[in-house]
Structure 1
Amino acid sequence: MTATRTVELEGHIIDSGMMQRAFGIVMDLDGSFEVEEFDVGKHKDKTSYCRMSISADTQETLQEILHELHQNGANLTDPVDAHVEPAPADRVVPHGFYSTTNHPTEVRYDGEWIGVENIEMDCAIVLEPDPDGREEPRAYTKVLNGIEEGDLVVTDEAGIRVQPPERPRDSSGPFGFMQGGVSSERPSESLIEQVAEAIEETKAEGGKVLVVAGPALVHSGGALDLARLIREGYVDMLSAGNGFATHDIEHGLYGTSLGMDMETMEHPRKGHKHHIYTISEVIRAGGIAEAVDEGLVEEGVMYECVENDVPYVLAGSIRDDGPLPDTITDAVEAQNAIREQAHEADMVLMLSTLLHSVAVGNCLPSDVRVVCVDINPATVTQLLDRGSSQAIGMVTDIGTFVPTLADKILGPAAEGETDGDGYYETDGGADDDSDHGGGHPCGGN
């Protein structure tokens, strides 16, 4: 007996490839479709609409097809209220719970659509009804380890609709300059200028910019230019790891990064110990803010964060030396801190750090603008493969990107803003998850 349901797609479904993907999903999963209505937007700023019936040999196959279509923005034409079941215990979700995408999502309750708060991928949706009529019902995401017994968890796709970000052919909309995915061949200069304009636009609209940075930013010579952007108010939050903060402070104390003199490119005697000396001195001071207050740290990214009240999250890893007192060593606590930042961000710059980029990307809604820069194209590819399809990837040296970006926004650095010896002219940009040498494990994420 054939099972059939009707779905609809609406928006820039041709330009974005949504309709083509929908057809492919149905055929790949051994279903069939019949287009019942198809209205084509005849101008580039007009949307299209498609309604089609989906059929399969069994209800199970049809449900699998509908699940995949739903993840790509197709919604049932005859929605019902969302199904909910109480969580049987803390951190235990009902069987068949709905696992979220990172796209804006709504659930249907009592005949009305409710926006899901704090949307991110791979979470459950908890519904809070309003039995007393005193407040509006709420729907919001919860990670699995945050589920509490009795939470009303949404199950299967019924009564849920998602809205993937649209990609019109022109440069309009919030993703105007983000057309083309990953490439090392597009002109970097013009693309960096577009990124600079997007940052300025975000700030002008009252939005927040989050920077996700890896130690390669320090090694390759871009840290002081990032510090300039922080000082001038173009960065609102920083997400990094113990390694980044350590090498940023190490440079200010010793003029080295991972033991290498940033002016001469030589390894001074005992230079390989500078990172652990740095950690020791910051621990002695009581933390990064205390080290700034007592004059131990007088320049760099972490210095500017403290001086300009820019919040930062340093998430630890198993490879960390020390770590610095500010590093969050509990993985779940660190994840929650990153999640809070991600939910506040309107634009994110991911600068040469694979694991941190993926971690933050997992927490971001798909309507947040994301720029990922790395010398290794695999970093950007993995980010996209993990589901952050809104990201634009630039394959270039991070030590070139950040100074150029700062110059586009702020103009060339005035004399005295660097040490005057050109120590930021080094070649670099390798991802922070690679071997940096020096005979120690510090510098992970």
Structure 2
Amino acid sequence: MTVSRVVELEGHIIDSGMMQAAFGIVMDMGGSFDVEEFDVGRTKTSTSYARMTVSADTPEELQSIVHELHQNGANPVDPQDVDLDPAPRDQVVPQGFYSTTNHPTDVRVDGEWIAVEDVEMDCAVVVERDGNGDPVRAYTKVLNAIEAGDLVVTGEAGIRVRPPERPRDKGGAFGFMQGGVSAERPSESTIAQIADAIVETREAGGDVLAVCGPALIHSGARGALAELVREGYVTMLSAGNGFAVHDLEHDLYGTSLGMDTESLDHPRKGHKHHIYTISEIIREGGIEAAVESGTIDSGVMYECVRNDRPFVLAGSIRDDGPLPDTITDAVEAQNAIREQAHEADLVLMLSTLLHSVAVGNCLPSTTKVVCVDINPATVTQLLDRGSAQAVGMVTDIGTFVPILTEKVLAAEAEAAAGDD
């Protein structure tokens, strides 16, 4: 005897691939489906609708299938209120808690849909009620932030997931963002489109977060990124201890990890420059103090301090020193990254796998992400971990950032000329 459940999909479900994905999920997991209703949107602005019955041999198999469909935007047609169970103690969620995706999500409480705030993947959803027992808000919480008594959403009922849809055309500054990673994209035109996206984001009052790896400094792109920070096109920075050390080392010694980035020579004792740099910054009391004293007078970190661009340096087990500004507590670093990620409107992930994945885990799927690396596996891993909104460009970061800076400034100049 089979069991079944009716689900529905709505939106641009054909060209976005949502409908095909739903069919594949059901078949791959051993179920079957029957499309009961299918209305096709016939223009670029109209949406499509599909209603289908999903069947499986056992209730457990059906629940697994419906769960996967739900994660991809197929929602049951008979919504019920969410199940809410209190957390038994701090950092402990109830059994069967709902683990979030990074897509916009609503929960149904007392017959009303409430948008979940601060959406990110792999969190619990907590519903807050006022003194009269009425729901006030719903928001995500990481497991280590759960407090005893928090009302946590459990099960699958009363939850609506809304995956963002890809643009149906390629117009506008963000038209190039069609997802995926490729070494085949024409570099000049793609970089120009990314530059337009940065300018558009700034003109709209948005924030651009740069997530940077040390290779950016090694490859000679330090000055170009510093200019983007100085001119306000990059408004936030997320990196590790190594990135900041090599940037500061370049200012003090003209090297990055002991190598002259212009001549490619290795000066005598150059291999010690990074640890000398750390010692000097510790002696000064931190990066800001070193800038204020005049010890540091150029580079990315200098521009962040001088222009009040917030930065997060997240430490790791491999760090030398580390710098006084580096956050060495992993949970504290995650929270700082999370706060930045929730404020960002556009994220540039520049040649760093670990920090790209860390920041990507904190981003809602509605945030635009561009990932640039010479290694296509960096973007592939980002996509595999759920940051499906990321688009990738496979190129040398030392070439990409200077060209991007040039095109950003040119795009801004062109826009200014048009206003005159």
Q: What TM bracket, shorter-length normalisation?
A: over 0.9
The match for 1:36 is 36
Shift of 1:155: 0.5
Unaligned runs of 5+ in 1: 413-445
Distance (whole Å) between structure 1 residues aligned to residue 132 and residue 141 of structure 2:
24
- Please identify, of 64-73 and 136-145, the stretch whose mean Cα deviation from structure 2 is larger: 136-145
Q: Residue deviations 1:288-309, cap 9 Å, x none?
A: 0000000000000000000000
Distance (whole Å) between structure 2 residues aligned to residue 130 and residue 102 of structure 1:
27
The match for 1:5 is 5
The answer to whether structure 1 residue 114 and structure 2 residue 114 are counterparts is yes
Change over 3 Å in CA distance of 1:180–1:88 after alignment to 2: closer
Distance (whole Å) between structure 1 residues aligned to residue 202 and residue 369 of structure 2:
15
> Cα RMSD between the aligned structures?
1.3
Shift of 1:317: 0.6
Whether the 8 Å CA contact 1:25–1:65 is kept in 2: the answer is yes
- Equivalent runs, 1:231-270 vs 2, <5 Å: 231-270=230-269
The match for 1:63 is 63
The 3-state SS of whatever aligns with 2:243 is helix
- Equivalent runs, 1:325-404 vs 2, <5 Å: 325-404=324-403
Distance (whole Å) between structure 1 residues aligned to residue 265 and residue 279 of structure 2:
23
Shift of 1:151: 0.6
The 3-state SS of whatever aligns with 2:337 is helix
Q: TM-score, normalised by structure 2?
A: 0.96
In structure 2, give the amino acid aligned to 1:304.
E
Change over 3 Å in CA distance of 1:136–1:81 after alignment to 2: closer
Q: TM-score, normalised by structure 1?
A: 0.90
Whether the 8 Å CA contact 1:82–1:159 is kept in 2: the answer is yes
Distance (whole Å) between structure 2 residues aligned to residue 9 and residue 396 of structure 1:
38
The match for 1:125 is 125
Unaligned runs of 5+ in 2: 412-420
Distance (whole Å) between structure 1 residues aligned to residue 154 and residue 174 of structure 2:
32
Distance (whole Å) between structure 2 residues aligned to residue 64 and residue 193 of structure 1:
44
The 3-state SS of whatever aligns with 2:349 is strand
Q: Residue deviations 1:127-162, cap 9 Å, x none?
A: 1123527x7621000001111111110011100011
Shift of 1:180: 4.5
Distance (whole Å) between structure 2 residues aligned to residue 399 and residue 184 of structure 1:
16
Q: Residue deviations 1:13-67, cap 9 Å, x none?
A: 1011100010111111111111111011112332111011111111111100100
Shift of 1:225: 0.5
Distance (whole Å) between structure 2 residues aligned to residue 173 and residue 139 of structure 1:
34
- Please identify, of 303-312 and 136-145, the stretch whose mean Cα deviation from structure 2 is larger: 136-145
The match for 2:14 is 14
The match for 1:407 is 406
In structure 2, give the amino acid aligned to 1:177.
F
The 3-state SS of whatever aligns with 1:327 is coil
Whether the 8 Å CA contact 1:82–1:154 is kept in 2: the answer is yes
The answer to whether structure 1 residue 160 and structure 2 residue 159 are counterparts is yes
Distance (whole Å) between structure 1 residues aligned to residue 256 and residue 42 of structure 2:
56
In structure 1, give the amino acid aligned to 2:389.
Q
The match for 2:275 is 276
The 3-state SS of whatever aligns with 2:354 is helix
Distance (whole Å) between structure 2 residues aligned to residue 303 and residue 404 of structure 1:
22
Whether the 8 Å CA contact 1:45–1:168 is kept in 2: the answer is no
Whether the 8 Å CA contact 2:82–2:153 is kept in 1: the answer is yes
The 3-state SS of whatever aligns with 1:137 is strand
The match for 2:417 is none
The match for 1:50 is 50
Shift of 1:201: 1.0
Whether the 8 Å CA contact 2:75–2:160 is kept in 1: the answer is yes
The 3-state SS of whatever aligns with 2:274 is helix
In structure 2, give the amino acid aligned to 1:186.
R
Identical aligned residues as a percent = 76
Change over 3 Å in CA distance of 1:71–1:35 after alignment to 2: same
The 3-state SS of whatever aligns with 2:280 is helix
Distance (whole Å) between structure 2 residues aligned to residue 98 and residue 58 of structure 1:
21
The match for 1:144 is 143
Distance (whole Å) between structure 2 residues aligned to residue 170 and residue 48 of structure 1:
17
Distance (whole Å) between structure 2 residues aligned to residue 342 and residue 267 of structure 1:
37
The answer to whether structure 1 residue 297 and structure 2 residue 286 are counterparts is no
> Deviating runs (4+, > 4 A) in structure 1?
172-175
Distance (whole Å) between structure 1 residues aligned to residue 281 and residue 410 of structure 2:
33
Whether the 8 Å CA contact 1:126–1:140 is kept in 2: the answer is yes
In structure 2, give the amino acid aligned to 1:183.
S
Change over 3 Å in CA distance of 1:126–1:174 after alignment to 2: farther
Whether the 8 Å CA contact 1:44–1:168 is kept in 2: the answer is no
Distance (whole Å) between structure 2 residues aligned to residue 262 and residue 34 of structure 1:
62
Of Structure 1 and Structure 2, the greater helix share is in 2
The match for 1:433 is none
Number of residues paired by the alignment? Answer: 411
The answer to whether structure 1 residue 197 and structure 2 residue 196 are counterparts is yes
Distance (whole Å) between structure 1 residues aligned to residue 119 and residue 179 of structure 2:
25
In structure 2, give the amino acid aligned to 1:143.
V
Q: Residue deviations 1:66-91, cap 9 Å, x none?
A: 00000000011110111110011111
The match for 2:187 is 188
Shift of 1:175: 5.0
The match for 1:421 is none
Shift of 1:223: 1.1
